[in-house]
């Protein structure tokens, strides 16, 4: 006797509020600035009480600073705006899953919620390689929501790396996916 296995795949479509789309769109606009400056196109915005208080885009090449990621710049701008390093009443919107450094900065600054567009299987620390934001080993935990404008974010990344390979002949591969 054989067993009949029936697998049903259900695609769950999350509908986000207009506000969430608006803020992620603002992060995408920041990523476009990075693309225009030949930087990896990642953008971020920090929101406090329905107002953007910090913006950033990757500026690693421009500033010759490995820490000049979009999230770091947006977190610094937000902390300066409210004159407090504790951003516990804030949310951050990022076009690519944050790395270990940026996730650590979000945990340290007590960010309440993280929204990101596309997963980063090579450096991601919020679900891909690690899940530092939600694992509960720290004195703070960040709620993580992913997938908002993921296709648009992946398209920006693909455009950048396509141009980058043409310029320097690099054989780097792009592996950005949605989970």
Nearest residue to 103 (alpha-carbon basis) of 85, 127, 80, 82: 127
Q: What is the CA radius of gyration of the chain?
A: 17
Q: Answer for the pair 20, 6: CB distance below 8 angstroms, yes or no.
A: no
Q: How far is CA 87 from CA 61, 105, 114, 152, in A?
A: 27, 11, 12, 28
Residues in Cβ contact with 112 at an 8 Å cutoff, skipping those fewer than 6 apart:
87, 88, 89, 90, 91, 142, 143
Q: Which helix (H) or strand (E) holds 28?
A: helix 18-36
Collapsing DSSP states into helix, strand and coil, what is residue 92? strand
User: Residue 134 catalytic?
Assistant: no
In whole angstroms, give the CA distance from residue 72 to residue 69: 5
Of the candidates 30, 39, 71, 91, the residue annotated as catalytic is 71
Q: Which two tokens stand for residue 124?
A: 């991601």
Residues classed as catalytic: 71
């Amino acid at each position: 006797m054989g067993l009949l296995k029936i697998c049903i795949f259900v695609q769950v479509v999350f509908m986000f509020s207009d506000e969430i789309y608006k803020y992620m769109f603002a992060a995408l606009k920041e990523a476009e600035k990075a693309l225009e400056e030949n930087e990896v196109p990642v953008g971020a915005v920090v929101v406090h009480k329905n107002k953007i208080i910090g913006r950033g885009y990757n500026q690693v090449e421009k500033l010759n600073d490995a820490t000049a990621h979009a999230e770091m710049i947006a977190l610094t701008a937000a902390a300066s705006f409210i004159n407090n390093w504790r951003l516990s009443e804030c949310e951050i919107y990022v076009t690519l899953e944050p790395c270990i450094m940026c996730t650590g900065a979000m945990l340290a600054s007590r960010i309440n919620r993280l929204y990101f567009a596309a997963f980063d299987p090579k450096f991601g620390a919020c679900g891909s390689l690690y899940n530092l934001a939600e694992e509960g080993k720290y004195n703070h935990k960040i709620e993580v929501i992913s997938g908002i404008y993921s296709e648009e974010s992946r398209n920006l990344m693909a455009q950048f790396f396509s141009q980058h390979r043409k310029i320097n002949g690099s054989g780097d591969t792009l592996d950005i996916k949605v989970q």
